[in-house]
Structures are given as structure tokens and as C-alpha cells.
Amino acid sequence: MPQWKGSGSIPPASSLPGPEIPLGLIARVEKMGGQSNKAENAYGLELICSDLRTLRFGFIPENHSRKQVYEAINHFAFPASNNLDFFAFAYSATFEIEGWSLYSHKNELARVIAGGSEWRISAVNEDYKLCDTYPSQFAVPAAVDDTALENAAKFRTRNRLPALSWVHPGTRASITRCSQPKVGPWRRNEQDEALIKAIQGTNPRSQKLVIMDARPKVNAVANQAKGAGYESAEVYENTEILFMNIPNIHVIRDSHRRVRDLCYPRADDLHWHAKLEDTHWLEYNKLILQSAVMVVDLVQQGTSVMVHCSDGWDRTPQITALAMMLLDPFYRTVMGFATLIEKEWLGFSHKFAQRFGQGNRNHGDEQRAPIFSQFLDCVQHLLTQFPTAFELNETLLQFLGDEIYTCRFGTFLFNSEKERQELRAREKTRSAWSHVIANLRLFSNPLYVQQDAVLSPVMNARRMQLWPGNYLRWSPEMRKADAAMARQWELRNLVDSLQEQVTRLQGQEAK
């Protein structure tokens, strides 16, 4: 075995036997057996990976090489725990189009609020002093000035005041998002109430506002004892409060772990489906999708919706982003999907570093949870139910799910836009969207047909299925899926060929 030193580098994968694994995908390293164990491959290392693989490597006990390899992997696979830079800061690939320049808060918000003067783009947070987990620019009711925003923000957890996500171009009903209010058992805040009233006033058809609390009500009530809680319809006039009963990160983490254990290395247990049901994973995904569908229905009817959970950066973007994909065909394109993630997840600071533990060997951290991965699960469900409505494909979802861990790009590093700016991620790292654009054909659906219709998924238990391309991709049972992927490539080549013929015939006709 190679003799690696702490400050050295691991040899290129091409010089070593076995599978190639990005170091970032390694979640933890475990030692197997002791030197006295003479059984074949009983002494070695086990790598538990974030892409659901568990790989075992056998060593010859007499070589005493395991310790060096163990230390080298732990050193390089967990840069955050070893005071090292992420791989993204060393990745030097060049791309024709730079992905960092593709998204602009101002441009996307201008597109969303086009055709109306009820909303304005505020730069009150350009220095991140109002809210260090909000984007530098966001949209608010035009009737509310920045001073009022500063006062209202104090009444929301972590100053995450209500801000605009999307406006229906026809009904002008809006989707806004925020964190829970600091109501406690009895507190009120006139500025927060005035901001909510202003949001209601942006809707010309209906002054009613549905406040969708993603949490179970019992959790929201419990938070009142901590000085937070939920809105009261008696205080916030002309509102309706709905609780969506989506579990917290700890429940989701445990459910996801049980799914992983069920699917790898094989998914051939006689009681597999019953055990899958016991994980409640599909049940929780269904709750999220049902919440998004409810938002769609309300906004189409002309009723504005405000979504929040506790802090507004986990369950909240799951609901708002899925609802926006169903409502707005732009977000179903590859670049529209990138815009959606930049705005709802990155801009409003889903805590990618904390939830995924990037580069940190503390795999038992209670703050870890696959919230964004669960969102990708729900998107895959929509792709399955509407096979021609999305330009993006399953391969893009798989790519994003893996790249969060590999840390090859700066896009998903850190917990907030502020952190990415302070650490100069835009200047020093490559954007994941640069890679997506450079490989657009790989990430595009050959069956895509552009359509403006609002999507209405059927939400029942029979339709909720586990995503085989993700959870079973390393299992022998997935060989059929490999054939299906090959068929997709055949279709893509056929589409390209037919398009070339159309272009050639159009050119001949023009002559």
C-alpha cells in the first residue's frame, strides 16, 4: 500500500484498483476486525458513503498499513475537521459559461412581480445587518418602507420577516415566506401586524391570507413556551391558520436512515414493502407534496398564502419551491430549476453545511438532516407523474444530490449567502450550474414538451413510490433501470436527429 503522509496527497484514482469515490462522499470510516483475525478480508476498513454505498477494503494484517490509510482518509475526507480548504477551492476546471453570473435576485424578482406595482425590491439587507440569513435583496409590499421592515423583523425568529416568493400573474395572489413570530403566550407587535396587512393589501381580489404553518400544531404550541409560537386569527385579521403536520428534522433524519438501511446492499427482503412503510418516508413526502398542492389551489383561486415553519429554512422552502414548480412552467426548465434553487434554498439560507455536515467527521451531529434531498425526492415524484412537463431529468437530481457532499463546487457550500460572500465563493470556486450548462444534454429530458398549464398531481398512497434511481442505484435489481436509461439516450439521439432534419428542410424551403 502507498505510504501517505499527513501533508501529502492521495494517488490518482486511476492508479488504484476498485471504484472511484469522491472523498466528500465519505460520511465516516470504520475499522473492521483486529490483527489477530486471519479470515480473508475480515481485517480492514469500511467506508460509509453519503450516496448510500458502504464499501469494505481488506488488508493484510502483517503489513500494518491500515493505520496509515485510515489516518489519510480521515484527514482528507473531512477538511472542515482538519482545518483544510474544501476541494472546491482547488478545483480549476474551466467552463465556457460561468454559472455564478446566471442568477440575479433583482432580475428574478422583477420577473415575478412584473405587471404590478404592489411589490417593490428592497435593498435594506444589502449588508446583511437586518437579517444575516436572508438574501441581499428581496421583495416586500410597496406600501411598507425600510424603517417599518426593520421594526417588523424584530418580531420574527432570527429576523426572518415575511418576504415574497412568487406572484400569480393572473390573480395577483402571492406566496410569501418567513419564520415563526415571537408571540410567546401573549405578545403582539403592531409593525408585524401592519406588514401582514400590507401583504393582504397587495391582492386586488381577496384580502384573506392563509398562513400555512408547516409544523404539527403541538410543536408550534410548545414553541410558545420559548417565546415564539404561531399567529392567532383573532390578532391577524382576515387570516386562516393551517397546520400541515410535517415532522421536524430529527424525525426526517431517522426516517431517511431507515430507508438507507433497507435499500443497501440489497432490497430483496420478503417483507421489504412493509418495512418501507414502517419508515414513513413516503408518508412524509406525501405531506410535503400535499401542502404544495394546497398552496397552488389557494393561489389559483385568488387567495394569498404565507408559509413558515420554525426558522423558515427547512420545511418552508420544500413547500414554496414545489408549489412554484407546479404553478410556473419556467421553474420546470433546467435553468428555471437552477433559479428556483438559488432563490428559495440558497438565497433564503437553507443551512447546507449544517444539514449535510460537509467535510465534518461528526456524523452524529443532531443538526444533520436530508431536507434538500427530500425535496429532490418530491421533485422526482413529479417527474414520474408528468414525464413530458419537465425539461430537467432524473440525472440532474442525482447530480445535485451527490454534489452537495462532494464539495466540488462552491454553490452548496456554507449556510448562507452572507457566508458564501465573506469567503468569496463566487471568486474562488466554480458554480455547479457551470457544469450543468456544459452538459445540458445530459441533464435534459428528451420527452419534454413546453406547456404553460398548472400541474395538478394526484396525491394518494398508490402513487407514492420510492425513487429507485437514487436509493437502489447500487443494487443488482437496478440493472433494469440501466436499460431504461440507455433507452432515454436513444430517444435523445433520435430527437436531435429529427431536429436536424427539420432545420435542414426549413433551410431548403427558404431557398
Residues with active-site annotation: 309
**CA angle at residue 351 from 346 to 357, to 5 degrees?**
125
Q: Which residues contact 141 (CB under 8 A, 6 or more apart)?
A: 118, 119, 120, 195, 198, 199, 201, 202
Classify burial at 464, counting beta carbons within 10 Å of its beta carbon; exposed 0-12, middle 13-18, buried 19 or more.
Answer: middle
d(CA 167, CA 300): 10
User: CA–CA distance from 470 to each of 20, 177, 381 (Å)?
Assistant: 18, 30, 12
- In DSSP terms, 335 is beta-bridged to none
- In DSSP terms, 57 is beta-bridged to 45
**Helix then strand then coil, % of the chain, to nearest 5:** 45, 10, 45
Contact call for residues 322 and 289 (beta carbons, < 8 A): yes
d(CA 361, CA 83): 12
Closest by CA position to 358, among listed 6, 27, 7:
27
d(CA 179, CA 133): 11
CA atoms within a 13 Å half-sphere pointing along the CA-CB vector of 203: 29
Q: Which three cell numbers stand for residue 456?
A: 395538478
Q: What is the CA radius of gyration of the chain?
A: 25
User: CA–CA distance from 289 to each of 123, 268, 279, 389, 459 (Å)?
Assistant: 33, 28, 18, 17, 8
Task: Specify the residue for cell string 404561531.
Answer: 230
> How close are the terminal C-alpha atoms of the chain, in Å?
68
Q: Which three cell numbers stand for residue 296?
A: 397552488
Contact call for residues 149 and 161 (beta carbons, < 8 A): yes
Contact call for residues 417 and 35 (beta carbons, < 8 A): no
Query: Biggest alpha carbon distance in the chain?
Result: 83
- Give the number of other Cβ atoms within 10 Å of residue 136's Cβ: 17
Closest by CA position to 30, among listed 40, 41, 42, 45:
45
Question: How far out from the chain centre does Cα 85 lie?
Answer: 23
Residue 84 falls in which region: left (phi positive, over 0), alpha (psi -120 to 50) or beta = beta
